[in-house]
Amino acid sequence: MRIQSLQNRSPFLLKLTILIVLIIFFMQYTSMSLSQNKINASENIFENQSITRQANNIARSRYKSDETKNTTNQSKIDVTKTASVNEPKIIDYKEVSTNQSDVSGRKYTSYIKTYNNFEKEQSLCLSNSKTKQLSKKRNCPNSGIVTVREGGRLGNQIWEYISVWLVAEETSMEPYVPSCIKSRLSTLFDNLNLPVIRDIYHCAIKETSKNQNIILPMYIVKPELLAHRINDIKQVFSIKQTLLVQSQKKLHEGVKYLNSTFHTFVGVHARRTDYIVYLKRKYNIVPQVTNFFESAMSYFENKYPKTIFIFISDNPNWCFGEFGAKKNVYVTGRGTKHSPELDVAIMASCNHSIIDYGTFGQWGALLAGGETVYYEISPKYPSDLLGKHLSNWHTIKLS
């Protein structure tokens, strides 16, 4: 009897099992395809769309967008592509964790549990960020973090670093820079305080409204935000002592060369090479740099007797050809090429600045802190925006 009844029941059990398996399979399939769709639609990266929307609104309202440059480099999964250019895209790390050459969206389905899972920061870096000594385990972030993609050379990377800090301050989120940027800037500055992402590798990413993350695009500049925090620059960036010592030597080389008794040093940054093409393409201008430098130098000569001009350039020979005959011009880096770090330090050691264009000159002048005369490019150009907000920055009428 017992055996009979079992035999009778077993087809039922089998059917039930098959049904359950089918239901589970169906549910899995549905939820998989749902999450696939969500992730494809780049607005809806988080599981709970309601939370996502709320958090985006909070973060956006905290974030006063003053982005002015269309600096997006068109990498395939550039986070700014789906957002408006002027607005940082608010995303979580699933997006950067994927293979950057892949836009299919398929890889997003593998869920990421800790910051460690997104390719060891390297997805934000162009250069190699393997510098172990920088990392220090930290408490996990309470809210979302602000970080940035690495792009460009020294001047760009200083902007990228400070932009993380500025946006974090603005949004009350926590700033973390990729190690590649921090180690790049460590050749110029001492005691860079921002933590690196690998400090929080052990932390889980919790997808809550408090855990929105912002990844700023490469080449970002934040002139207006910076202008409001200009007094903090010296604290964020302190130039290495060895570079400062070398810079003083260079300045005195100039003094000696000119047989001068100096009073005032004006650092002049002349950006040549690639930038001229960029300005033509981007702003459709062909700058009259020689005219500009002449005008700016006369301005300082009139204001401070015994001014000497220290030229810093990616093409020192051009500078020497144009201005080398003047009694108060010393062109640095003509014999042996300086490192970019030393060039920034020399500019920063001068009392005032003349800059034509480019992020490098902007930082030389910002770190010098004195009066800055810049070439007027366009109301939206970073130097012009700094000029609009900083009382010691101004442009000059060309003679």
Ligand X SMILES: *[C@@H]1O[C@H](CO)[C@@H](O)[C@H](O)[C@H]1NC(C)=O
- Residue 33 engages ligand X in binding (rule: CB under 6 A): no
Taking the complex as a whole, the smallest distance from the CB of residue 350 to ligand X amounts, in Å, to 6
268 forms beta bridges with 311, 354
Identify the residue among 251, 268, 331, 386 touching ligand X (CB under 6 A): 251
Query: Can you tell me the distance from the alpha carbon of 88 to that of 298, in angstroms, rounded to the nearest whole number?
Result: 42
Binding ligand X by CB under 6 A: which of 40, 110, 290, 298?
40
Nearer to ligand X (CB atom), residue 106 or residue 388? 106
**92 versus 165: smaller Cβ distance to ligand X:** 92
Find, among 257, 276, 269, 225, the residue nearest to 362 by Cα: 269
- 351 contributes a contact to ligand X by CB under 6 A: yes
Report helix, strand or coil for 226.
Answer: helix
In angstroms, give the least distance from the CB of 47 to ligand X. 8
Choose the stretch contacting ligand X; rule: CB under 6 A; options: 104-112, 127-135, 192-200, 296-304.
104-112
In the chain, which residue ranges form alpha helices assigned H by DSSP?
2-40, 49-62, 93-97, 154-171, 179-185, 223-228, 233-236, 241-257, 275-283, 289-303, 316-323, 340-349, 359-368, 382-389
Q: Name the minimum Å distance from CB 129 to ligand X.
A: 14
284 in contact with ligand X (CB under 6 A):
no
CA-to-CA dists, residue 158 to 3, 17, 176, 364, angstroms: 80, 62, 14, 11
Element containing residue 92 per DSSP (H, E): none
Complex with ligand X: residue 165 or 357, whichever CB lies closer: 357
Q: Is residue 237 within 8 Å of 189, Cβ to Cβ?
A: yes
d(C-alpha 388, C-alpha 392), whole Å: 10
Among residues 38 and 138, whose Cβ is nearest to ligand X?
Answer: 38
* Site membership for ligand X, residue 258 (CB under 6 A): yes
Structure tokens belonging to residue 48:
């709970």
Pick the closest to residue 99 from 89, 108, 112 (CA basis).
108
Q: Are strands 189-190 and 393-394 parallel, antiparallel or unpaired?
A: unpaired
d(CA 148, CA 207): 20
Does residue 244 belong to the site contacting ligand X (CB under 6 A)? Answer: no
Stretch that binds ligand X, among 102-110, 224-232, 279-287, 300-308 (CB under 6 A): 102-110
CA–chain centroid gap for 68, Å, is: 14
CA distances from 111 to 32, 46, 149, 178 (A): 12, 11, 21, 21
Any contact of residue 241 with ligand X (CB under 6 A)? no
Least distance (Å) from ligand X to the CB of residue 230? 17
Q: Which is nearer to ligand X, 8 or 61 (CB)?
A: 61
Q: Quick one: 347 or 355, whose CB is closer to ligand X?
A: 347
Q: Binding to ligand X (CB under 6 A): which residues in 41-70?
A: 48, 50-51, 70
Among residues 112 and 168, whose Cβ is nearest to ligand X? Answer: 112
11 or 335, CB closer to ligand X?
A: 335
Closest CB to ligand X among residues 101, 391 = 101
Figure out which of the listed residues 73, 128, 298, 315 binds ligand X, where binding follows CB under 6 A.
73
Is residue 174 within 8 Å of residue 145, measured between CB atoms? yes
Which position among 35, 65, 66, 85 is part of the footprint of ligand X (CB under 6 A)? 85
Provide, rounded to whole angstroms, the least separation between the CB of residue 254 and ligand X. Answer: 10
Q: Rounded CA gap, 388 and 383, in Å?
A: 9
Minimum CB separation of residue 73 from ligand X in Å reads 4
**Positions in the binding site for ligand X (CB under 6 A):** 36-37, 40, 48, 50-51, 70, 72-74, 85, 99, 101-102, 104-106, 251, 258-259, 265, 349, 351
